[in-house]
Amino acid sequence: MDKVQFTIMTNSRHITGSDIPWYPDGMSDLLERLRTRGWRLTAQRRVVAEVLDGDHVHLTADEVHARAARLLPEISRATVYNTLGELVTLGEVLEVSTDGRARRYDPNAHHAHQHLVCSHCGTIRDVHPVGDPLAALPAGERFGFTVSDVEVTYRGTCPDCSATAA
Amino acid sequence: MDKVQFTIMTNSRHITGSDIPWYPDGMSDLLERLRTRGWRLTAQRRVVAEVLDGDHVHLTADEVHARAARLLPEISRATVYNTLGELVTLGEVLEVSTDGRARRYDPNAHHAHQHLVCSHCGTIRDVHPVGDPLAALPAGERFGFTVSDVEVTYRGTCPDCSATAA
DNA sequence: ATAGTGAATTGGACTTTGTCCATGTCGTGG
DNA sequence: CCACGACATGGACAAAGTCCAATTCACTAT
Ligand SMILES: [Mn+2]
Ligand SMILES: [Mn+2]
Ligand SMILES: [Zn+2]
Ligand SMILES: [Zn+2]
C-alpha cells in the first residue's frame, strides 16, 4: 500500500499529509478516476470522498457534512450537496431513499445489492437476493417502459430492536 | 349502486349531496369500515377519502390537499396530514417514497403490488411481478432480522418520455 | 515561479415537505 | 337538544434541499 502524500493550502489554513495520514487504496482509486474525468481535486472533495470511504455506510447529506467538517471545519453544506450530486451523476455513489426522509448516500456503487432496513431504528444492511429481480417483471407488466433498474427494500425488525421490544 | 345522500354543515357553509353527487361503492365501503372502527365522520375526512378514491392514484399530501380544497375550501393542511396518517396506520392507504421527495399516498392497499416509475417525468404505474419477492432473500442474508415486507421499485423511461427524447 | 481564467466554494436566502400545539369547533351518544 | 371529548385549524417551527452572487482557488500556460 503506497501512502499518498499531499499538501493542501487555503488562505487561512495549511493541511498536510500528516493531518490526514494516507488515503486507502479504494479512495485513491476513486480520486484518480475522478481526476481523469476532469475533476479539480479540492480539499473539500477529498474530504467528502474520505468520509464516504468504506463500503458499508449509508449516510445522509448532513451526516456527511458533519463528518467532513471534523476534517475541514470550513466546508459548507452547499459544497457537500454539490459534491454528492456529482458523485451520483458519475455513478460513483448511489442515492437511496428508504424512509421518505433524508436521502442516503451509498458508496458501494460497484457491487449490485439491495437493502434491508429496520423499521424501528432505521439501521440499513446491504443484502444480496438470489436471481435477477428485473426478471420477475413480465413484459406484459412493463407498459412500454424501458426498465433499467430495480430497487428492492426489505423491511423488518433488527435483532437489537427485537430484543428491546421483548 | 346505492347513492348515499348526506348533508354537511359547518359554521360558514352548507354542503349537500348535490354538491358531491354520490359516493362510489368503494368509498362508501371505506367510510363504513372506518365508522365501525370508531371514526367520527367529518366533512374533512369524507373529502380526503373521496380524493383518494379510485385505485390508480399516487398523490402527494399537497396534491391531496389541493383536490380536497376544491370540494371543501377551508380544509387545512394539518388535517390532510392527520387523516392520511390515520389511514396509513389503519392499513387503508399505503405510503410510498419513490423519489426521495414528497411521500405519496396509495389507496390500493388491499392488492399487493409494486411500482414502475419513470425517471424523467415521475409517472408511477402499479405492476405485479411474478413470484414472492421475499423468497429471493435467503436466510443467510437476513442477519437475524424478522423480515415482514418488501418494496420493489422498477425504474426506467415511460413511452411518452422515450418519444420526446427521440 | 507566476499569472490568468474559469471552475469550485461559500453563506445565506429561499422553497418544499412535514410536525406540533393551543385554541376553537363539531359529531355523537345520551 | 346538551355535554364532552375527539377533531380541525392556522401558524409557528423544523428538516431537507436548492439557488445565487460574490469570492477563492486549482490548474494550465507562460
Ligand atoms: Mn448499500
Ligand atoms: Mn400503487
Ligand atoms: Zn432496529
Ligand atoms: Zn416519463
Domain ranges for chain A? 17-96, 112-165
Phi, psi (deg, nearest 5) at residue B98: -90, -15
CB pairs under 8 A between A and B: 132
Segment A122-149 mean pLDDT: 97
Lowest mean pLDDT among A9-13, A137-141, B24-28: A9-13
Identify the CATH class of A17-96. mainly alpha
Q: What pLDDT does A32 receive?
A: 87
CA of residue B84 to ligand 2 center, whole Å: 15
Is pLDDT at A19 greater than 90 in this prediction? no
Q: Give the residue, A164 or A73, on which the prediction is more confident.
A: A73
Segment A89-105 mean pLDDT: 95
pLDDT per position as a tens digit, B87-125: 999 999 999 999 889 999 999 999 999 999 999 999 999
Report the mean per-residue pLDDT for chain B. 86
**Nucleotides of chain C within 7 Å of a protein C-beta?**
7-12, 16-21, 25-28
Kindly state whether B165 is in contact with chain A, defined as any CB-CB distance less than 8 angstroms: no
CA of residue A80 to ligand 1 center, whole Å: 19
Contacts 24+ apart (CB under 8 A), A85-90: A86/A39, A87/A48, A87/A52, A90/A34, A90/A37
3-state secondary structure B110-163: CCCCEEEEECCCCCEEEECCCCCHHHHCCHHHCCCCEEEEEEEEEEEECHHHHH
Q: What pLDDT does A13 receive?
A: 34
Chain A positions in Cβ-Cβ contact with residue B130 (cut-off 8 Å): 136-138
Q: Which residues of A113-139 are buried (b: 16+ CB within 10 A; e: fewer)?
A: bbbbbbbeeebbbbbebeeebeebbee
Q: What pLDDT does A26 receive?
A: 60
Q: Are B52 and B64 in contact (CB under 8 A)?
A: yes
Report the mean per-residue pLDDT for chain A. 85
Is there a contact between A150 and B154 if contact means CB atoms under 8 Å apart? yes
Segment A63-87 mean pLDDT: 98
Cell numbers at A73, concatenated: 471545519
| Other Cβ atoms within 10 Å of B133 Cβ, number | 21
Chain B positions in Cβ-Cβ contact with residue A141 (cut-off 8 Å): 116, 127-129
Length of chain B in terms of residues written: 166
Kindly state whether B145 is in contact with chain A, defined as any CB-CB distance less than 8 angstroms: yes
Segment A115-140 mean pLDDT: 96
Distance CA B71, CA B46 (A): 10
Kindly state whether A137 is in contact with chain B, defined as any CB-CB distance less than 8 angstroms: yes
pLDDT per position as a tens digit, B116-149: 999 999 999 999 999 999 999 999 999 999 999 9
Is there a contact between A159 and B145 if contact means CB atoms under 8 Å apart? yes
Residues 59-98 of A with CB under 8 A from B: 95, 97-98
Domain A112-165 adopts which CATH fold?
Dna Ligase; domain 1 (3.30.1490)
* Residue of chain A whose Cα is closest to the Cα of B123: A145
Chain A positions in Cβ-Cβ contact with residue B162 (cut-off 8 Å): 144, 146
Which amino acid does the sequence have at B110? H
| Distance of C1' in D8 from CA in B107, Å | 23
Which amino acid does the sequence have at B146? T
B17-96 and B112-165 have identical folds: no
Is there a contact between A128 and B145 if contact means CB atoms under 8 Å apart? no
Kindly state whether B148 is in contact with chain A, defined as any CB-CB distance less than 8 angstroms: yes
